[in-house]
Structure 1
Amino acid sequence: MAGQAGVGLAAGSPDGGSPAGGGSADGGPDIDAQATRLAVGCAEILPVDGLRAKLAQAARENRPLRVKLGIDPSGSELTLGHAVVLRKLRQFQDFGHTAVLIVGDFTGRVGDPTGKSATRKVLTAEETVANSHEYFDQVMRILDPDRVEIRRNAEWLEKLPLQDFLTAATSLTVAQLLERDDFARRYRESRPISLMEFLYPLLQGYDSVAVDADIELGGTDQTYNNLVGRTLQRDAGLSPQVVITVPLLVGTDGVEKMGKSLGNWIGIREPAAEQFGKLMSIPDSAVATYAALCADFTAAEMAALTARMAAQPAEAKRDLAERIVALYHGAAGAAAAREQFNQLFQRREVPTDVPVVHVPAGEPVDIPGLLVSAGLAKTKSEVRRLVDQGGIKIDGVPLASGEHVVDFDRVIDRVVQRGRRQAVRVRAHADRPAPADRPAPADR
């Protein structure tokens, strides 16, 4: 698959014949090479020496590590933000270890409260099943399907005896939960926190007990939840997992965490041209972040990119966009997307470095009002006349006569242009999220 070609290997990495990547029983050069390579791009490893210790243990026992990643089926589309941790999981696979992918079909009905300022909508069992089915094609664009163990946590959580659940609950205290930033903030602001939300970390942590995970991966926002799993394993008499977190990818706005509700996302199964165009819209300040987290750039490649951004920023971004798109659509697909972008933006002279305006997420956009508020016109009637004359464009495509109000998906993260030089890029307000499951934007 195209996505599998994007992960580089360190010297001495396995060819698939050795379950744990080789090395001596007490840890040797191969263990050091694995530990060094796997640590690249990580935000935190807890405990700090835990990764090498787990690798050495696997080598002594001649077995692969069980590396857990949980996916919350709250929507149907995976983004480049999800791909960051999936690519780290693929690296473990390439060293011969087993990816244990936990589909939260039970915990998804509870809803992860991490980072939320209000109680999340509770999904039905049918919704979690439908969403999780959508994940597999996307996930396997990155992971090696021969080294994946897919589990659904309803397997054990639906059957968990109440006595066992209450016993596990003694490992957590209310004081500990209220120390979490999201809960602490909501408590200070007198916002509701349901007891079910309090129980979510316990349920997620129990997954680690059920699958006997050696390592759990997650974003930096999952550190607390993953450490709960470590605690529950220890209390259950198991060897506690090592927690490895990766940075959260900012969206195309370069500010907020990538998310579908903000319209700042890039889907891993979006068409190549759509991916390329969105990647070209990221601000220059986010280029290095995307190179490191989405394209696995080496230190030498990062240095070269920095120099190129200073000299030829537009071409440097095109090179990065092509490399990322190639991970999901192959080299030929990425090259075609680059050529299509060049034709669209260079021949139609669509400006790329333009001011940003914000609109309420998910709501239809009144183009005359937008351009008046942005200072590109004096009156709405003036804009309506320009629209009817073909003088207002979205990403170089003229609006049709009478097309004065457009759908949110049509305009979000795109350039609305009056003439050749006057233009704005449209983003969503961060404080007014759209529904989490809105479909991907239509092709340009």
Structure 2
Amino acid sequence: MNKIKEALSEIARGSVEFIGQEYIQSLVERFYASGERFIVKAGFDPTAPDLHLGHTVLLQKLATFQRYGGNVKFLIGDFTATIGDPSGKSETRKPLSKDEVERNAITYKEQVFKILDPQYTEVCFNSQWLNELGVGGMIGLASKFSVARMLERDDFTKRYQNNLPISIVEFLYPLLQGYDSVALESDIELGGNDQKFNLLVGRSLQRSYGLKKEQSILTVPLLEGLDGVHKMSKSLNNYIGVTEDSKTMYAKILSISDEMMWKYYNLLSNLSLGEIEDLKTNVKNGKIHPKSAKEQLALEITERYHSADLAKDAKIAFDNVFSKNETPTDLPTFKYNEGVWICKILVECQFCDSTSQARRDIRAGALKINKEKISDENLKMLAGEYIIQIGKRKFAKVIIH
């Protein structure tokens, strides 16, 4: 495989849809021939302060483009976040305040360079040009698109057919995101597969504004979370956070299913497609145990966001706790008066979101106290010191006076 084919194979790896492949190939060929780089854009609305591995699928793809000639425009949508992206939503999304956006944007900037090469990355804020657009500019922008075209978008169509409200502001969102592509003169735009409509708007607006280019589009899949079913989300508590401590990150990655492991490899690992295929073949043939392959993935990702030493320490800690059935040594400690309800403890230790969830977990057999399984959801604790455990990863020391 020559270097151009290898580059295009890695760029296409794990993608859902690829529009304008010929243009991307020409950009990569030009880079190898002359060293001239091209513009790759991806937008992030800073709607939460911390990124999880689901967000990093897009960052990994941006890093791939950087290896093959891409200059990344990492666009923080500080203006559009105050509107709220309606993509995939069944109702109008609540916008963020300016202060929330600014706080979240700072943490994004701190986190993305764990993956992206700073030399080929420019962090941009779309308020820079959208604030200057003005009323006349907004009217001119709105004139570039029809209501009929907007209603082609799946989520708008469903809401319109079900007589659910769609605000005019929501129609403006894809136009503003598309205008970002005009302002940045992007050659390629990346996004999740739920963003296809917005990405196509940018492609259309580049034509309307007379740019001598039409951005190619690459969409990436949404990564399922720890449950293996729903997309990774903090609200579903099935996420692996970029800023989580190394031991938690390592343990969470090892908890994914053997089948889901290969999707994580494909979307998150820096191993080549050939190396992943060899690893998969060795697992299938019984030369490598699936757990060993998963440990390799957990070490790679944990090292990326922490360090090689912390990743190794996380593996040792995990092996001690789960393979040797030992208890962690660095436990958080909580103190209560005698008679406290076990469900109250589980909530305040942040093991469960509510006492109702605590009851369900106890009924499901997830609670152990001093390594003994407890099934009494109404248990009142007596004086003493206890090690409380929920599931495989949550431990706490509780002192009852």
Shorter-normalised TM-score: what interval?
0.7 to 0.9
Instruction: Report the Cα distance in structure 1 between the residues aligned to 2:362 and 2:301, rounded to whole angstroms.
Output: 37
Structure 1 unaligned runs (5+)?
A: 1-10, 12-28, 351-358, 404-444
| Residues 13, 266 of structure 2: 8 Å contact kept | no
Residue of structure 1 aligned with 2:377, choices 380, 402, 406:
380
Task: Tell me by how many angstroms 1:339 deviates.
Answer: 0.7
For 1:304, the equivalent position in structure 2 comes to: 279
Matched, 1:370 2:331: no
Residues 331 and 51 (structure 1), Cα distance of their counterparts in 2 relative to 1, 3 Å cut: same
| Residues 73, 128 of structure 1: 8 Å contact kept | yes
Instruction: Report the Cα distance in structure 1 between the residues aligned to 2:383 and 2:48, rounded to whole angstroms.
Output: 36
Residue of structure 2 aligned with 1:400, choices 391, 395, 398:
398
For 2:195, the equivalent position in structure 1 comes to: 222
For 2:253, the equivalent position in structure 1 comes to: 279
Instruction: Report the Cα distance in structure 1 between the residues aligned to 2:65 and 2:240, rounded to whole angstroms.
Output: 24
Instruction: Report the Cα distance in structure 1 between the residues aligned to 2:224 and 2:183, rounded to whole angstroms.
Output: 33
Task: Tell me by how many angstroms 1:288 deviates.
Answer: 0.9
SS at match of 1:101: strand
Residues 387 and 328 (structure 1), Cα distance of their counterparts in 2 relative to 1, 3 Å cut: farther
Task: Tell me by how many angstroms 1:69 deviates.
Answer: 1.1
Residues 323 and 237 (structure 1), Cα distance of their counterparts in 2 relative to 1, 3 Å cut: same
Deviations 1:147-175 (A, max 9, x none): 11221100110110323322222332222
For 1:321, the equivalent position in structure 2 comes to: 298
Task: Tell me by how many angstroms 1:271 deviates.
Answer: 1.6
Task: Tell me by how many angstroms 1:308 deviates.
Answer: 2.5
* % identical equivalent positions: 38
For 2:236, the equivalent position in structure 1 comes to: 262
Residues 96 and 192 (structure 1), Cα distance of their counterparts in 2 relative to 1, 3 Å cut: same
For 1:122, the equivalent position in structure 2 comes to: 95
Instruction: Report the Cα distance in structure 2 between the residues aligned to 1:249 and 1:54, rounded to whole angstroms.
Output: 28
Task: Tell me by how many angstroms 1:398 deviates.
Answer: 5.4
Task: Tell me by how many angstroms 1:145 deviates.
Answer: 0.8
Question: Structure 1 counterpart of 2:298, which letter?
Answer: A
Instruction: Report the Cα distance in structure 2 between the residues aligned to 1:372 and 1:329, rounded to whole angstroms.
Output: 34
Task: Tell me by how many angstroms 1:373 deviates.
Answer: 4.3
| Residues 344, 396 of structure 1: 8 Å contact kept | no
RMSD between superposed Cα atoms in Å: 2.9
For 1:51, the equivalent position in structure 2 comes to: 24
Question: Structure 1 counterpart of 2:41, which letter?
Answer: K
Question: Structure 1 counterpart of 2:78, which letter?
Answer: D
Task: Tell me by how many angstroms 1:388 deviates.
Answer: 7.8
Deviations 1:41-85 (A, max 9, x none): 222210242311333456678631011111111111011111111
Residues 235 and 62 (structure 1), Cα distance of their counterparts in 2 relative to 1, 3 Å cut: farther
SS at match of 1:115: coil
| Residues 90, 159 of structure 2: 8 Å contact kept | yes
Residue of structure 1 aligned with 2:168, choices 178, 195, 217:
195
Matched, 1:138 2:115: no
| Residues 103, 132 of structure 1: 8 Å contact kept | yes
Structure 2 unaligned runs (5+)?
A: 328-346, 367-373
Matched, 1:185 2:181: no
| Residues 348, 396 of structure 1: 8 Å contact kept | no
| Residues 31, 68 of structure 2: 8 Å contact kept | no
For 1:111, the equivalent position in structure 2 comes to: 84
Moved more, 109-118 or 363-372: 363-372
For 2:40, the equivalent position in structure 1 comes to: 67
Question: Structure 1 counterpart of 2:242, which letter?
Answer: I
SS at match of 1:218: strand
| Residues 109, 123 of structure 1: 8 Å contact kept | yes
Matched, 1:250 2:246: no
Residues 334 and 378 (structure 1), Cα distance of their counterparts in 2 relative to 1, 3 Å cut: closer
For 2:339, the equivalent position in structure 1 comes to: none
Q: How many residues align?
A: 366
Task: Tell me by how many angstroms 1:116 deviates.
Answer: 1.6
Matched, 1:288 2:262: yes
If the length of structure 1 is used for normalisation, what is the TM-score? 0.74
Residues 371 and 68 (structure 1), Cα distance of their counterparts in 2 relative to 1, 3 Å cut: closer
Residues 98 and 398 (structure 1), Cα distance of their counterparts in 2 relative to 1, 3 Å cut: closer
Instruction: Report the Cα distance in structure 2 between the residues aligned to 1:341 and 1:88, rounded to whole angstroms.
Output: 30
Residue of structure 2 aligned with 1:86, choices 44, 59, 63:
59
Instruction: Report the Cα distance in structure 2 between the residues aligned to 1:236 and 1:59, rounded to whole angstroms.
Output: 30
Question: Structure 2 counterpart of 1:198, which letter?
Answer: F
Instruction: Report the Cα distance in structure 1 between the residues aligned to 2:324 and 2:394, rounded to whole angstroms.
Output: 9
Residues 333 and 391 (structure 1), Cα distance of their counterparts in 2 relative to 1, 3 Å cut: closer
If the length of structure 2 is used for normalisation, what is the TM-score? 0.82
Instruction: Report the Cα distance in structure 2 between the residues aligned to 1:375 and 1:31, rounded to whole angstroms.
Output: 55
Deviations 1:390-428 (A, max 9, x none): 48522363563679xxxxxxxxxxxxxxxxxxxxxxxxx
| Residues 288, 306 of structure 1: 8 Å contact kept | no
Instruction: Report the Cα distance in structure 2 between the residues aligned to 1:317 and 1:366, rounded to whole angstroms.
Output: 33
| Residues 386, 392 of structure 1: 8 Å contact kept | no
For 2:344, the equivalent position in structure 1 comes to: none
